[in-house]
Amino acid sequence: MRRYLPGLLLVSPALAIIVFLFLVPLAGAVTGAFQDADGGFSFGNFIKTYQLYSNDILFTIVIVALSALLTAALSVAIAGYLTLGTSPAAVAILRWLYRWPLFIPFIVVGQILRTFLAKNGLMNNIFVATGLITPLHTVGFLDWRGIVIAFVWKQTPFVTLLLAGAMASIDRGTVEAARNLGASRLRILLEIVLPQAAPTLMVALTLSIVTMMSVLSVPLMIASQSPTVITVDMAFRINAYGDYGVANALGLISLVLTGAVAWIYLRQTMRENAR
Amino acid sequence: MSVLAETAAPARAAAWYWIPRAVLFGLLAFIIFGPLVNLLLWTVTEKWYFPHALPLEYGFSYWGRVFSPRGNAMGSLGTSALVACLTVFLSLLLAIPAGYALARLRLPFRSLILLALLVPNAFPNLPIYVNIARLFYQIGLNGTILGVVLVHTTHGLVYAVWIATAAFGAIEPELEEAARSSGASAFRAFRDVMLPLAAPGLMASAIFVFLESLDEFTGTFFVGAPDVTTLPLLLYTSAAGGNYQIASITALILLVPSIAFMFVVERFLRADVLANIGR
């Protein structure tokens, strides 16, 4: 124990922050979800949550799942081209292009897509000006579609960055062998490159799902009317009613949902490692 | 003649290849830069209404309003800068000793400690912030700069500690041993040998933490509002109030450091440090 003392002393302040500002509030979220107004144990918050927000919970799952799927498809396409592309100039252009949204803050993403995707936003204005559609046919995207577009817009570069890194480090021999046998690039990507980079894709997607479940600013700015995602509901419960019980019940549900994703991922990797 | 035709044919085929590529890249550029151009247009718009594709009048009058000494944007900019600097200071104060210990000293459960620091970023943090706000309310930290700094530090700590650990780990152990064996105290060897060598990595972690703090919305929304108004909160309230110009100028102020960082990050995070992160 003595020889560990200096190291533990130096690490303990950082760990104290995690304990007091993460574990204690987490415990507060779990116990708060099961407390009624008088502090007694009850399932009342969950019953109320189910009555008021079961649609929004379903809505959240669909939005996050759809965003994750679209992000995965786009990331595989971009990272695949970066890895297997034959024209150095095209690869360089794509590499320069794709990562712009990576460091743009979510709140800014919310603002720029809100003005861009609105019924009278720049996107529709351009379509009208170029004669693609008439002003009568413009459609605003400031609903669930806006949230999905914002999530995919922001998360694709992140997943692509990690995935392209993983694809670059796989064994090139199998790729060259398949190419010599005349396999198409799409087939090489899907049957040789992607399976080897799949663990990284799953990690990146899991992290993205956690992010999407946490972000409040994007749904708040793009589509805060009902139906909406549960982060907006939690903020509303607290700001409008000071109702911590239902907010914590919703919080616990979002923790369980992401926990389920993480568990599926972990089980998958363990099964693959056991093979 | 025939030689010329033979070289021209593949060149022409390669040129044809560029048409689908150009269409796809153009589409991608539209998707990525369209919203950004829209933001830039809004910052210099005086008058813009449906169905005009572009603003009717351009001007900088809103910039004057944002940057006037009495405008609340300058106040928010000051608050954001103060919070971000204090967050960097506190994070480095915690991360430098922790990173050194994780890289160099004997520690039980070392990988578990590294993982524990990641945990706050591996769960949806909104339920956590809600309960932090409740705790802070009881001890009078709600609506204070210190409260917001503490929340931002929790969120940024994983970057700070992981990068600091990687930076210290990338230094050759012989250098520190040489300093010690020529008579330097442990603290002196750390201060004069380890700290300068780890400086670029620590700088990168400081920039990461600074940007995370600058862009943080959810925690500030629960813990700081309405007393502590950072730039993201100002952006949200002006956008909710329909003031697109003020919101867009605020967004641009937030955007510039983030984009600048994207281009310099590789200079600060050397490959040997980068490969060490999370180990």
Shared domain for B249 and B209, answered yes or no, is yes
pLDDT at B1 exceeding the cut of 50:
no
pLDDT of res. A150: 93
User: Taking residues A12-24, what's their average pLDDT?
Assistant: 90
Q: Is residue B109 included in any domain, yes or no? A: yes
Shared domain for B101 and B21, answered yes or no, is no
Residues A154, A211: Cα–Cα separation, whole Å: 11
Burial string for B26-61 (b: 16+ CB within 10 Å, else e) reads eebeebbebbbebbebbbbbeebeeeeeeeeeeeee
Residues A14, A31: Cα–Cα separation, whole Å: 25
Residues B156, B152: Cα–Cα separation, whole Å: 6
pLDDT tens readout for residues A193-239: 898 888 888 888 988 998 898 899 899 888 777 688 888 999 888 88
pLDDT at B277 exceeding the cut of 70:
no
Q: What percentage of residues in chain B have a pLDDT greater than 90?
A: 18
pLDDT of res. B279: 61
pLDDT at A71 exceeding the cut of 90:
yes
With an 8 Å Cβ cutoff, is B118 touching chain A? Answer: no
pLDDT of res. B93: 94
Shared domain for B181 and B266, answered yes or no, is yes
pLDDT of res. A1: 66
Minimal Cβ distance to B102: which of A4, A11, A262:
A11
Q: Which sign, positive or negative, has the C-alpha torsion A39, A42, A46, A49? A: negative
Shared domain for B94 and B185, answered yes or no, is yes
pLDDT of res. B8: 58
Is the ipTM higher than 0.90? The answer is no
Q: Considering only CB atoms, which chain A residues are within 8 Å of B247?
A: 111
Residues B62, B223: Cα–Cα separation, whole Å: 30
3-state DSSP assignment of residue A239: helix
Nearest to A144 by CA among A216, A208, A213, A226: A226
pLDDT of res. B2: 46
Give how many domains chain B has, as a whole number. Answer: 2
pLDDT of res. B264: 74
In the stretch 145-204 of chain A, residues with CB closer than 8 A to chain B read: 153
The whole domain housing B94 covers 71-274
Q: Is residue B76 included in any domain, yes or no? A: yes
Q: Considering only CB atoms, which chain B residues are within 8 Å of A25?
A: 127-132, 135
User: Taking residues B125-129, what's their average pLDDT?
Assistant: 89
Q: Considering only CB atoms, which chain A residues are within 8 Å of B38?
A: 112, 115-116, 121-122
Shared domain for B154 and B44, answered yes or no, is no
pLDDT of res. B272: 64
Put simply, the answer to whether A255 touches B134 (Cβ < 8 Å) is no
Q: Is residue B279 included in any domain, yes or no? A: no
Minimal Cβ distance to B127: which of A6, A111, A254:
A254
Q: What percentage of residues in chain A have a pLDDT greater than 90?
A: 21
Q: Which residues contact A102 (CB under 8 A, 6 or more apart)?
A: A157, A158, A161, B262
Q: Could you tell me the end-to-end alpha-carbon distance of chain B, in angstroms, rounded to an integer?
A: 62
Last residue of some domain: B41, B62, B83?
A: B62
Put simply, the answer to whether B214 touches A101 (Cβ < 8 Å) is no
Which position has the higher pLDDT, B271 or B220? B220
3-state DSSP assignment of residue B70: coil
3-state DSSP assignment of residue B57: strand
Residues A216, A232: Cα–Cα separation, whole Å: 6
pLDDT of res. A67: 96
Q: How many angstroms away from the CA of B97 is the closest CA of chain A?
A: 5
Contact, A121 vs B38, CB < 8 A?
yes
CATH number for the domain whose boundaries are A53-274: 1.10.3720.10
Q: Is residue B211 included in any domain, yes or no? A: yes
Last residue of some domain: B12, B32, B62?
A: B62
Give me the amino acid identity at A228.
T
Give the chain A residue nearest B27 (alpha carbons): A97
Nearest to A68 by CA among A200, A209, A198: A209
pLDDT of res. B84: 93
With an 8 Å Cβ cutoff, is B58 touching chain A? Answer: no
Shared domain for B24 and B115, answered yes or no, is no
CATH number at residue B236: 1.10.3720.10
Among A63-67, A179-183, B87-91, the minimum mean pLDDT is found in A179-183
Q: Considering only CB atoms, which chain A residues are within 8 Å of B134?
A: 28, 244
Shared domain for B149 and B199, answered yes or no, is yes
pLDDT tens readout for residues B39-51: 888 888 877 776 6
pLDDT of res. A68: 95
Put simply, the answer to whether A17 touches B127 (Cβ < 8 Å) is no
Contact, B209 vs B203, CB < 8 A?
no
Put simply, the answer to whether B259 touches A100 (Cβ < 8 Å) is yes
Shared domain for B44 and B79, answered yes or no, is no
Minimal Cβ distance to B134: which of A113, A120, A244:
A244
Shared domain for B212 and B116, answered yes or no, is yes
pLDDT at A34 exceeding the cut of 50:
yes
Shared domain for B32 and B125, answered yes or no, is no
Shared domain for B93 and B164, answered yes or no, is yes
Put simply, the answer to whether A122 touches B37 (Cβ < 8 Å) is yes
Shared domain for B170 and B190, answered yes or no, is yes
Last residue of some domain: B62, B91, B112?
A: B62
pLDDT tens readout for residues B210-260: 988 988 999 999 998 778 889 999 899 888 887 888 888 889 988 888 888
